[in-house]
């Protein structure tokens, strides 16, 4: 087995078990998003349809309680503080002081099926999600083939996912010039059930997912406003600057710093500056009221974040995410030639990482996601170690929870904040009304884990990702 990416830094938590994965009822699915019904033997790791979970640490919207959660047919029907109050029920599973909290919702996942199952696929990707405490993923419109930019492509993706998923799966569509300029295609995609759409303001690396200009984005937002669904944006604009390297004898393509200098923070800043010029129209009473702009995988903690904070203060409908790899690693630590760390925007320096953590803990960054983006080793150029030619993307879906907690607790991250960033806020953002919290009526998507237990991520550790 190849050395695993997260082996570089120690992890300080272990997942004990995943309890319940509940599929959406057909009526709810039709209203919100197309979700493949899980086969019966995949819906739960527990043999009972009606049971209680007991723990001294249950993360609820009201705080951490010692008590029990009653589950019937995959839904939470009561949450009780205190013990011994389950009546005559014999089906009580006591987890002691293990943490019981909502399953993670990862809204930024590339599973690459159909078309590129050698990269990942629904089977391995959702197994990895389940193993890591992620009970819902929302899958990106690329890098599958075809990309999900029409209702016909979405139908192919739904068919590809049938009988292969181990957690709930929703889908984003794609905003590209073709459907931005022919809004009937975009409306067909939204009517078919995608939760929103994603666009790139720079080349995506995939030929059939071309970049959008700010004019395309405006056209897309006018449609999204009617459906009240978000636009997710890869926010980088290529800048003609000295930082955009022209290789010469003094610049080593195998040095991480060479790659870092090719995508400076000014790329993110330029894109976000254009976006916040549009988001003013998303305010209450504005021409784009009902639309929402979401900045994906923010890397720059300086001017880019300041622009977003200013737009929020004006009442613009805008949000932002960052990813565990930006919070766990810094450019100074990345070995030359180790192209497993290549992603875009790039992992920046240690000071930037500290400022990102500040923004997360102060609530300026709304939620976390993995941007799980695997590929085959040949495209990562692991042997050559060439950062400039290697595929950009980090394979990390199985380790959202341990990586975030391992590093976050050093900055004072609490269990309540962890659940807010990985469950409640992603559910709200994606429109998953019955997910994200342990509350009566919600789906019983629950993870049980021990924050204090350590494990070594070595070659013997069970990893379900196709290319860790």
* Residue 92 contacts residue 364 (beta carbons within 8 Å): no
- pLDDT for res 10: 25
Is the pLDDT score of 46 beyond 70?
no
Residue 430 has pLDDT above 50, yes or no: yes
Taking only the tens place, the pLDDT of each residue in 256-271 is: 999 999 999 999 999 9
Q: Could you tell me if 424 and 415 are in contact, meaning their C-beta atoms sit under 8 angstroms apart?
A: no
| Distance separating alpha carbons of residues 467 and 224, to the nearest angstrom | 35
Q: Is the pLDDT of residue 51 over 50?
A: yes
Domain assignment present for residue 280? The answer is: yes
What whole-number distance in Å separates Cα of residue 164 and Cα of residue 27?
A: 22
Spatial contact of 178 and 185, defined as CB atoms under 8 Å apart = yes
pLDDT tens digits along 144-186: 999 999 999 999 999 999 999 999 999 999 999 999 999 999 9
What's the rounded Cα separation, in Å, for the pair 57 and 74? 21
- Residue 91's CB: how many other CB atoms inside 10 A? 15
Tell me whether residue 375 is in a domain.
Answer: yes
pTM of this structure = 0.91
Give dist(CA 257, CA 334) in Å, integer: 9
**44 within domain boundaries:** no
Mean pLDDT (whole number) for 320-335: 98
Write out the two tokens for 443. Answer: 């789906």
Residue 136 belongs to some domain of the structure: yes
312 located within any domain: yes
CATH of the domain at 175: 3.20.20.140
Asked if residue 83 belongs to a domain, the reply is no
Give Cα separations from 98 to 48, 60, 94, 173, 382 (angstroms).
Answer: 21, 14, 9, 38, 39
Q: How many domains does the chain have?
A: 1
What is the spatial distance between Cα 166 and Cα 22, in angstroms, rounded to a whole number? 10
Is residue 283 one of the residues assigned to a domain? Answer: yes
- Beta strands across the sheet bearing 318-322: 173-174, 197-200, 230-234, 292-295, 318-322, 367-368
pLDDT tens sequence across 186-207: 999 999 999 999 999 999 999 9
Task: Give residue 258's domain range.
Answer: 103-432
Tell me how far apart the alpha carbons of residues 6 and 340 are, in angstroms, rounded to a whole number.
Answer: 10
- According to DSSP, the residues that pair with 170 across neighbouring strands are 138
Each residue of 273-304: pLDDT tens digit?
999 999 999 999 999 999 999 999 999 999 99
Q: How far apart are CA 98 and CA 88, in angstroms?
A: 24
Is residue 62, in this structure, part of any structural domain at all?
no
């Amino acid at each position: 087995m190849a050395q695993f990416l997260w082996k570089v830094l120690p992890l300080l938590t272990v997942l004990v078990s995943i309890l319940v994965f509940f599929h959406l009822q057909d009526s709810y699915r039709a209203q919100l998003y197309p979700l493949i019904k899980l086969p019966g033997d995949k819906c739960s790791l527990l043999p009972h349809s009606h049971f209680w979970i007991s723990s001294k640490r249950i993360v609820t919207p009201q705080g951490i309680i010692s008590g029990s959660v009653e589950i019937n047919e995959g839904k939470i029907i009561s949450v009780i503080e205190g013990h011994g109050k389950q009546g005559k029920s014999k089906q009580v599973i006591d987890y002691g002081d293990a943490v019981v909290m909502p399953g993670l919702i990862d809204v930024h996942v590339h599973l690459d099926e159909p078309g590129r199952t050698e990269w990942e696929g629904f089977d391995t990707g959702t197994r990895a999600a389940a193993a890591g405490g992620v009970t819902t993923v929302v899958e990106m419109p690329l890098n599958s083939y075809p990309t999900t930019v029409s209702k016909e492509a979405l139908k192919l993706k739904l068919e590809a996912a049938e009988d292969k998923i181990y957690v709930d799966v929703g889908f984003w569509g794609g905003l590209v010039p073709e459907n931005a300029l022919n809004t009937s295609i975009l409306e067909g995609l939204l009517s078919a059930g995608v939760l929103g759409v994603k666009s790139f303001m720079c080349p995506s690396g995939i030929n059939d997912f071309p970049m959008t200009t700010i004019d395309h984005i405006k056209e897309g937002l006018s449609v999204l406003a009617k459906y009240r669904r978000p636009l997710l944006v890869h926010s980088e604009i290529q800048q003609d600057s000295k930082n955009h390297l022209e290789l010469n004898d003094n610049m080593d393509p195998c040095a991480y710093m060479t790659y870092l200098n090719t995508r400076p923070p000014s790329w993110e800043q330029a894109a976000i500056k254009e976006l916040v010029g549009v988001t003013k129209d998303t305010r209450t009473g504005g021409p784009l009221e009902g639309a929402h702009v979401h900045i994906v995988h923010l890397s720059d903690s300086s001017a880019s974040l300041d622009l977003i904070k200013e737009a929020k203060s004006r009442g613009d409908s805008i949000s932002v995410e960052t990813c565990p790899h930006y919070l766990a690693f810094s450019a100074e630590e990345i070995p030359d030639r180790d192209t497993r760390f290549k992603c875009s925007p790039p992992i920046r320096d240690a000071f930037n990482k500290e400022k990102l953590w500040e923004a997360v803990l102060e609530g300026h960054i709304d939620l976390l996601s993995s941007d799980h983006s695997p590929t085959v080793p040949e495209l990562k150029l692991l042997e050559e170690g060439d950062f400039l030619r290697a595929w950009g993307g980090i394979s990390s879906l199985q380790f959202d929870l341990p990586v975030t907690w391992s590093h976050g607790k050093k900055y004072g991250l609490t269990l309540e904040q962890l659940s807010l960033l990985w469950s409640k806020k992603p559910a709200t953002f994606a429109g998953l009304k019955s997910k994200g919290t342990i509350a009566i009526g919600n789906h019983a998507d629950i993870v049980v884990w021990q924050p204090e237990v350590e494990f070594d991520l070595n070659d013997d550790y069970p990893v379900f990702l196709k290319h860790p």
